[in-house]
Structure 1
Amino acid sequence: MQENAMTVAVALDMSLGESPVWSVARQTLYWVDINNGHVYAWRPQDGGAPTRIALGEKVGCVAIADSGLVAAATSGILRLAAEGEPERLADNPECKNEWRKEGEKGRGNRFNDGRCDAAGRLWVGTIASDEASPTAALYCLDRGELTRRLTGIGISNGLAFSPDRRWLYHTDSLTRRILRYPFDVDTGALGEGHIWVDLEALGLPGVPDGAAVDSEGCYWSALYDGGRIVRFSPEGELMAEYEVPCPHPTMVAFGGPDLSTLYITTATQHLDAEGEARWPMAGSLLQMKAGVEGLAEPSFGA
């Protein structure tokens, strides 16, 4: 694979691919299709198609657990094992009980972007049901207790941690700004956030969606409706832009044996038939040699 050349890793037709996460121990990439409630698992070295399970509800993100996965679905946070029914770890406090009924759109906020910190806590945000109102929040699941940590959010996204564990990155995609918060990994405490990157000031298109941090402390962000991946230095300076062969990249993750392959999930949800014909790679899992190594993802509860 040529460095910085973007190709299809797995050809799919995902409505809203999201949350790629690489397990070093299993040499497996996991991701979701939010709108269809699908969780994928794929081992690139095996060369076959990914496996897929259907949760029967929208699923915003997944995180690695010592055994299986943890998924933040519409109704709550679930532990997924290889066999048996999912174990419910926490209910979604922003979702009404009628979430399973037909035609119940707009009756609550669902979980969206999330990941684990180095202490094994799961941080996960919600998205407003109308994708506009500041009714969403950022939560932390720690030792069985789900607590609200940030409020007044429209679309919680871009969650990542610096390699030195001193900073938590987060965005409300609607603001087109990425904030950085002082972070204490021992206690999980957040300091006061400040604007770290402003897409408007930089003249960048789209909104900041999912993200990952590399071993050099640089932050990689997928710009939804911007058709590109951007890399920022630890000081928030724009270092590189990589065009994506479709307008809606959603999130990135570092994987592969040396953690230097960048995997990119994409979406078709805002494309009509003409758009899908114009962007045939939309909805697939893409890949690119990043030229830098990523970081191993922590496990939930570790």
Structure 2
Amino acid sequence: MAAEIEIALELNMSLGESPLWSEARQTLYWVDINRGMIYAWRPESGAPPETITLEEKVGCIALCEDGLLASMSSGVVRLRLPFDGRLERLAANPEWNKEGKKEGKEEQQGNRFNDGRCDPARRFWVGTIDAEERHPTAALYCLESGELVRREAKLGIANGLAFSPDQRWLYHTDSLTRRIMRYPFDAASGATGTPHTWVDLQSLGLPGVPDGAAVDSEGCYWSALYDGGRVVRFSPQGELLAEIEVPCPHPTMPAFGGRDLRTLYITTATQHLDAEGRARWPAAGGLLSVNLDVPGLAEPVWSEN
């Protein structure tokens, strides 16, 4: 695919993630997980992005009517925009525990939240990541009636959550396996069926691991390959259709935005680069973009039900 990658914003993010576009606000939101930061940027304004810094790592965000949901390490919260400093706790993270005090502060540990998004019925789904990124201690949850209900267990790094335009499939990956799974999905009930391996990076000879993802209007799945230096597009049948190389090794997640949803924004990371790597890859930690012919899909807005 002939596509020209641009650096939309030069930033120094440690672990940029979870970009999502609000059509109503014409704003792109995303996070820097490690720094607990949420970014908000209106590309047409010509102004730099605004930021909110929270006291915990923020794995992912989702749109809600008057602001955002944020999956902080200890739980899912709602914050209204413009932000007034108040956070409304919606659900606690069942994998995050208090561990006494150190230097007068409560120490906590466990598995933080990672990737998540709303499904077509406006439910919020979110997965966790094993604290050591090695063991199958993480899980995938759905927020139902104010409680996080576990839907999938024994994961290492929950990632790549997306839904097909016909609402028949849920896509998800445990990044450590290098396989993208596809689950039969019932949008009305939120029920999932038995998953099967839909894409295997090893068998395709693709580098890196599958990280965050987005689905376009043709039902094709875009995956950022962390440590693979590219984003890839798969058909609904799991065929590799396109590869777009990016100017850094750690793209993290794509999202469609812009007035016509034809701009693919891509977050990136610097967290695994030393000084030499950062000098070699100056685009790392920035927000990238590429214009595409096929538009994406509007991101659902969470509904409390």
TM-score by length of 2: 0.96
The partner residue of 2:149 within 140, 143, 147 is: 147
Give the aligned residue type for 1:29: L
What's 1:177 paired with? 179
SS at match of 1:281: coil
Displacement of 1:107 in angstroms is: 2.6
Distance 1:272 1:247 in 2: 12
More displaced 10-residue stretch of structure 1: 219-228 or 143-152: 143-152
TM-score by length of 1: 0.96
Distance 1:79 1:121 in 2: 14
The partner residue of 2:253 within 229, 251, 254 is: 251
What's 1:76 paired with? 75
Give the aligned residue type for 1:14: M
Deviations for 1:249-278, whole angstroms, at most 9, x for unmatched residues?
Answer: 000000000000000000000000000000
Distance 2:229 2:15 in 1: 15
What's 1:95 paired with? 96
SS at match of 2:185: strand
Deviations for 1:205-241, whole angstroms, at most 9, x for unmatched residues?
Answer: 0000000000000000000000000000000000000
Distance 2:197 2:224 in 1: 18
Write out aligned runs for 1:140-289 (5 A).
140-289=142-291
Distance change (3 Å), C-alpha of 1:139 and 1:204: same
Preserved CA contact (<8 Å) 1:106 1:130: no
* Structure 1: gaps spanning 5 or more residues: none
Preserved CA contact (<8 Å) 2:98 2:107: no
The percent identity for this pair of structures is 68
Deviations for 1:132-157, whole angstroms, at most 9, x for unmatched residues?
Answer: 10000000002322100000000000
Preserved CA contact (<8 Å) 2:198 2:238: yes
SS at match of 1:5: coil
Preserved CA contact (<8 Å) 1:99 1:107: no
Distance 2:28 2:183 in 1: 28
SS at match of 1:189: coil
Give the aligned residue type for 1:123: W
Displacement of 1:119 in angstroms is: 1.1
Distance 1:231 1:97 in 2: 41
Displacement of 1:97 in angstroms is: 1.8
More displaced 10-residue stretch of structure 1: 104-113 or 34-43: 104-113
Preserved CA contact (<8 Å) 1:221 1:230: yes
More displaced 10-residue stretch of structure 1: 94-103 or 160-169: 94-103
SS at match of 1:185: coil
Displacement of 1:290 in angstroms is: 1.8
Distance 1:105 1:286 in 2: 36
Displacement of 1:93 in angstroms is: 0.4
Runs of 4+ displaced beyond 2 Å = 98-107
SS at match of 1:12: coil
SS at match of 1:178: strand
Preserved CA contact (<8 Å) 2:129 2:156: yes
